[in-house]
Amino acid sequence: MPPESVEDYFRRIYLEAVDTIVNCIRDRFDQEGYKIYSKLQQLLLKTCNQQHVDEELLKFVCDFYGEDLRKGELRVQLETLGETMEATAKQSEWTLPEVVDHMRGLSFGNRELLSQVCTLVKLILVMPATNAVSERSFSAMSVKSYLRSTMTQQRLNHLMILHVHKDYADRLNLVDAANEFTSAKDHRRSVFGTFH
């Protein structure tokens, strides 16, 4: 059905764009990795702020991480952590950075006593980095798939090396690279000359 006016036409386009954005955001945050990360954080922060362990979260986290976390020990250590957090008499709720700083400030012996909680904190801190690596690899592979159909394998490989090692590539002196390229063949030197 054609729009009745220009305003209706743009309203339809606008609503489709908003719907697409909302669905993309929903897909982004409805991933399994995000749910697991959220439950890890909730388990730690609920314990620190309410001084009791959420059994449902504890079961989910321990079931998911299997051998990394031991449920009985983690429960006791979280209860101990909750009591030490309560003893600090903080006026507002604990945030993740504050809990991490608190854990880092513990003596070696106390960290050993709370070894399962330390493992939980490490999982929370490491998980975003591991997801970022996989997303970066995925986007690099998307670039490779897109470019594969339009160039030779050798050129594609060279471009992928530049993409993956972009920090190193950004530090290259382009004038030196261009002069090295042109000096390799007489024909190139006659076409491009030298760069200064």
Q: What is the pLDDT of residue 53?
A: 85
For helices 115-148 and 96-105, the axis angle rounded to 10 degrees is 130
State residue 89's pLDDT score: 63
**What does the pLDDT read at residue 140?**
59
The residues spanned by each domain of the chain are 32-129, 141-192
How high is the pLDDT of residue 160?
Answer: 76
User: What is the C-alpha separation between 119 and 151, in angstroms, rounded?
Assistant: 47
Residues 115, 77: contact at Cβ < 8 Å? Answer: yes
Q: Give pLDDT, residue 146.
A: 61
Q: Are 117 and 103 in contact (CB under 8 A)?
A: yes
- CA-to-CA separations, 189 to 174, 176, 181, in angstroms, rounded: 16, 14, 9
**Residue 126 corresponds to which tokens in the numbers above?**
């490491």
Q: Which positions ≥6 away from 64 have C-beta within 8 Å?
A: 36
Write out the two tokens for 39: 């439950």
Parts of the chain with a pLDDT under 70: 51, 89, 91, 128-151
- Report the distance separating Cα 42 and Cα 58, nearest Å: 10
Residues in the chain, overall count:
196
Specify the pLDDT at position 149. Answer: 60
Q: Taking the CB of residue 8, how many other CB atoms lie within 10 A of it?
A: 12
